[in-house]
Amino acid sequence: MKAGFSKIKITPENYIGIPMAGYSRPDPCLGKLDDIFVRGILIESEESQGNNRFLLLLSFDLLKLPRSIVSYFSDRIIEKYDWISRENILFHATHTHSAPDLTGEFHWPGGTLSVVKGIMFGVNKNDKYIVWISHQVLKLIGKLKKSLRTAKLAWRKEIFNPNLVINRRHPSRVPETELGIISFKDLDDTLFGLIINYQCHPTTLSLFNNKLSADFPGQVISKISELTDNNVKSIYFNGPAGDLNPITTCGTDYKGLEQNKSPIYTQLGTYEHTKKLGFQIAKEALALSYSIPDENYNKMIKIRSNIKILSIPFRDARYFSSEWFQNKLIHAIKKYILLPVILSLYDKNNFPIFQIEKQGARIYAKTLFQFIEFSIGEDKDKKFNIFTVPGELFEDIGNSLLEKSPAGKKNSILIQNANDWIAYLFPIDEYVEIGGYEPVASFGPLCGYYIEREILDFFKNHT
């Protein structure tokens, strides 16, 4: 087996004045705290057959990557590099809220109405930047191929939440956030690379920040490099964190926050909070790697990647609760106002937010789920899984999927915001009892239900 790590900058040359994604800010970008990157790892498995010889994992310091942009990047990659297959490329957006807007949703500064305007009319506003990023990705892959070195890998996971992360909808339920790593060593047992997977919204910087930043995932990478004298390269992928926020200024009075959640939603985190959280995760990730015995590393790895296309209907749940009227009103506005405008402009949009398909009177979002299986050594039963969801996954669904994954929770990593973004992915009872979350930006309220069902069906039939 061989592996290589690298990165390339995607900070726009003229970033002052560009729209920033994530919050409804009153102003555009006014500066830069740190650069944003695409980071990658390329794995070559001599034991794998056919198209599975190479696996490419890419992590972008961006809010999200709609499937239209992912498809464009994939087309360009396989056109230039015929040794990699589309099914063996994973695209991830870390979900930093301090990066440039890609989709046009945040093109106009202001509040919710500005976002609605952006969703409907912000088409093709950032195409030049998207095309430029694709050029950077192609350069990165060339660097990754040259950086390949003989390697062996091991993995480990642990619960890690020393008052770092809070569930913003259920503050008194302290999250058992998992820190997972895949560790890469040379054959002489020298650590040279880490894949890091943690569960937390990259929102240490508040909505009052108007400067570009990769947020804490970028600091994790920087701190690992700093702590290892630049000898260890790393890449960060976010786990299920749709309802998990960093604790910056809200405090840890969880019972009090259960009664009044406002301090969670109005935290005033600064760059010092960003650096602090990044350092804590980086330090623990390195300690976790160093705790793995040398005999746990394997150099014989077989890779098999599967992609399942999902068709998610635009529909509402059948129920009645105190949230019914508000949920129904929002759903009706989307159905009869937002979607008709989006559909009327769909063919003119080079990179639409959703890949929409009409079947008669019904509307569907086409998205996908990716499942990557690592078979370790000569033991057919020793396996490790990486699988994805196309949105921001709530903690409960994430835990359920990990528990039921073919290799089991301790041998599986779940990556959210991968290969697409169609919605916040929440359980139906959260929607019915508490209300939907970011209902304007999400495709529909039942995306979490359908995606969980499809993934569990895949697990059931996986052999």
Q: Give the three-class secondary structure for 354.
A: coil
**Residue 205 structural domain:** 2-296
**pLDDT tens for the 463 residues of the chain, in order:** 999 999 999 999 999 999 999 988 889 999 999 999 999 999 999 888 788 899 999 999 999 999 999 999 999 999 999 999 999 999 999 999 999 999 998 988 877 778 878 877 888 889 999 999 999 999 999 999 999 999 999 999 999 999 999 999 999 999 999 999 999 999 999 999 999 999 999 999 999 999 999 999 999 999 999 999 999 999 999 999 999 999 999 999 999 999 999 999 999 999 999 999 999 999 999 999 999 999 999 999 999 999 999 999 999 888 777 777 877 887 887 888 777 877 887 888 899 999 999 888 899 999 999 999 999 876 667 899 999 999 999 999 999 999 999 999 999 999 999 999 999 999 988 888 887 666 667 899 899 999 999 999 999 998 6
On whether residue 412 sits in a domain, the answer given is: no
**Which ranges of 148-270 does DSSP label H, i.e. alpha helix?**
215-227, 254-259, 262-265
Name the amino acid, one letter, at 106: F
On whether residue 455 sits in a domain, the answer given is: no
On whether residue 142 sits in a domain, the answer given is: yes
- Four-CA torsion 284, 385, 61, 147, nearest 10 degrees: 90
On whether residue 377 sits in a domain, the answer given is: no
On whether residue 332 sits in a domain, the answer given is: no
Q: How far is CA 185 from CA 190, 197, 293, 301, 459, in A?
A: 5, 18, 12, 14, 31
Q: List b or e across 113-125, with b for residues whose CB sees 16 or more CB atoms inside 10 angstroms.
A: ebbbebbbebbeb
Please, which residues bridge with residue 184 across strands?
153, 193
Phi, psi for residue 459 in degrees, rounded to 5: -60, -40
DSSP state of 387: E
- CB 351, CB 419: distance < 8 Å: no
- CB 437, CB 445: distance < 8 Å: no
Per the structure, how many domains does the chain have? 1
On whether residue 80 sits in a domain, the answer given is: yes
On whether residue 317 sits in a domain, the answer given is: no
On whether residue 321 sits in a domain, the answer given is: no
Name the amino acid, one letter, at 333: I
